[in-house]
Structure 1
Amino acid sequence: MPAFGIGTNTQRTDAGKIRGKQLDIACYCWFTSHAKPTPNLIKFMDENGEIQTVREIRVNSMEKKNYSGIPSMEYVCQIVVNEICHNVKLIFFMQECKWVMNFL
């Protein structure tokens, strides 16, 4: 047993709740041979009720997280919508097989 309890609480930390504007999205992704999904295309409904298709996705980073105890993969990305670049987080909830987009 390590001294002073070091190494006794090594389970994954919780990232809390997702903050900011969140949209449900459809995502076309590539799964690597190690079961890591990589988003290639997304579709979402904008404020005007129109379906937007985004093919320009630049993934800057990816991190495994737990939001309120739910395992997920978070991608910090830049996307281009109507010729405007946006910084977003694409979050994949593994248990539900559900994608959401969170504007930064």
Structure 2
Amino acid sequence: MRIPIDVIATFNTLGKIKPNYIRLEDEEHQLRTFRVEQVEYTKEEKWAGIPVMVFLCDIITGGLKKQITLFYYREQHKWMIDRGEKSWMWEENLV
């Protein structure tokens, strides 16, 4: 299951998207922000005919580099993350 998240992203002159920061709500309803250190790859897919951009990104949490996968639903202009990836982010907040 995927959950919506806030993302700050930049767009270059060709329209290429680069996520820079992600923000999610933890179990205590506090907003946590993480900086995207690097985008390992980006690919475009269609799931049941719905265009989705997939970003494999590196973030730092708890002093360790972690990889997360972000999903951008272009037609809805929504960013999502898998619920399971959210759980380990609270080890230590970045930013």
Tell whether 2:15 aligns with 1:31: no
The answer (yes or no) to whether the contact 2:44–2:51 under 8 Å persists in 1 is yes
Q: What is the TM-score of this pair, normalised by structure 2?
A: 0.76
Q: What is the TM-score of this pair, normalised by structure 1?
A: 0.70
1:80 is aligned, of 35, 56, 60, to: 60
> How many aligned positions are there?
84
1:48 & 1:84 partners in 2: Cα distance?
Answer: 23
CA RMSD of the aligned region, Å? 1.9
The answer (yes or no) to whether the contact 1:63–1:73 under 8 Å persists in 2 is yes
In terms of fraction of residues, the more helix-rich structure is 2
In terms of fraction of residues, the more strand-rich structure is 2
Question: Runs ≥4 in structure 1, deviation > 2 angstroms?
Answer: 81-86
Identity %: 24
Deviations 1:59-83 (CA, angstroms, capped at 9, x unpaired): 1111001122110110011212343
Cα distance change of structure 1 residues 85 and 48 upon mapping to structure 2, 3 Å threshold = farther
Tell whether 2:13 aligns with 1:71: no
1:91 is aligned, of 71, 78, 85, to: 71
Cα distance change of structure 1 residues 56 and 35 upon mapping to structure 2, 3 Å threshold = closer
